[in-house]
Amino acid sequence: MNAVSKKTATPKTDTPLPAPAPGPKTLAIDIGGTGLKASVLDSKGNMITERVRIATPEQRDPKTIVDTLAKLVEPLTGYARVSVGFPGVVRRGKIMTAHNLGQEAWQGFDLDLALTEKLGKPVRVLNDADIQGLGAISGKGVEMVITLGTGLGSSLAEDGRLSCHLELAHHPFRKGQTYEEQLGNAALEAAGKRRWSKRVEKAIDTLRILTNFDRLYIGGGNAKALKFELPKDVQLVSNELGMRGGIWLWKERSPGSTDIFRRS
């Protein structure tokens, strides 16, 4: 397991941190195929601590990841609850798919319960692209988010309400390959930025036909590699939303509402 050094866990920044809004603080964790990140949010979703980060361990079984996360967040205190973004399908805190972390080891694992016991705080877990979506969307119309990183994440919402999560990454896209095989990090490295960007352009056109989105948001570490002018209904969003969106997992629902998570 990768050790978390003091230097890694307490990065410096020249940007002053905001004074926290009153209300409960939330520890936001983002689990990725290349990195594990965390920060504390105030009740409005503002990051009130410097983000801590470590490379995702080579050994990616649930116990190793949970133990590594516990080490990572040791410098972060004062939070009352935890939001976790996970790169796969999550249902009621249990992991259904984890293609970039080792599918078999994770399938059926109760990450919610494991982190609750490890950190001693209530935990809610959701797909990482869905959390980024909750942070990015306006709550009006059909809005879609895709994240370009190790793989490809996707999220879809209508009027601020998340749709059932679809793993579009593993659906056929072009030349007999999936979206992730054509647009993931390995594809970017193999094809180069220009060819890869043309594939992303084609994917945007395909997703527009599929979902009739009013707005598409593109995030993820590789979004900066895009080499074309974005259409008017498409915009890049900050990767910080992958954590800041975690505040919406704890927003109170309207009386009688059946929504699990809703941006309103």
Reported as a single tens digit per residue, the pLDDT across 146-193 is 999 989 999 999 999 999 888 899 999 999 999 999 999 999 999 999
Q: Is the pLDDT at 252 greater than 90, yes or no? A: no
pLDDT score, position 18? 66
SS3 135: helix
pLDDT score, position 9? 42
Angle at 75 between CA 71 and CA 79, to 5 degrees: 100
Q: Which residues contact 112 (CB under 8 A, 6 or more apart)?
A: 84, 92, 93, 94, 123, 124, 125
pTM of the model: 0.84
SS3 127: strand
Reported as a single tens digit per residue, the pLDDT across 77-92 is 999 999 999 999 999 9
E-assigned strand segments in 42-171: 52-55, 81-86, 90-91, 94-95, 123-127, 142-148, 152-158, 161-162
Q: Is the pLDDT at 4 greater than 60, yes or no? A: no
* Fold agreement between 6-129 and 131-241: yes
Question: Which of 73, 77, 71, 85 lies closest to 20, judged by CA?
Answer: 77
CATH architecture of 6-129: 2-Layer Sandwich (3.30)
Spell out the domain ranges in the chain.
Answer: 6-129, 131-241
Polymer length of the chain: 264
CATH 3.30.460.80 fits 131-241, yes or no: no
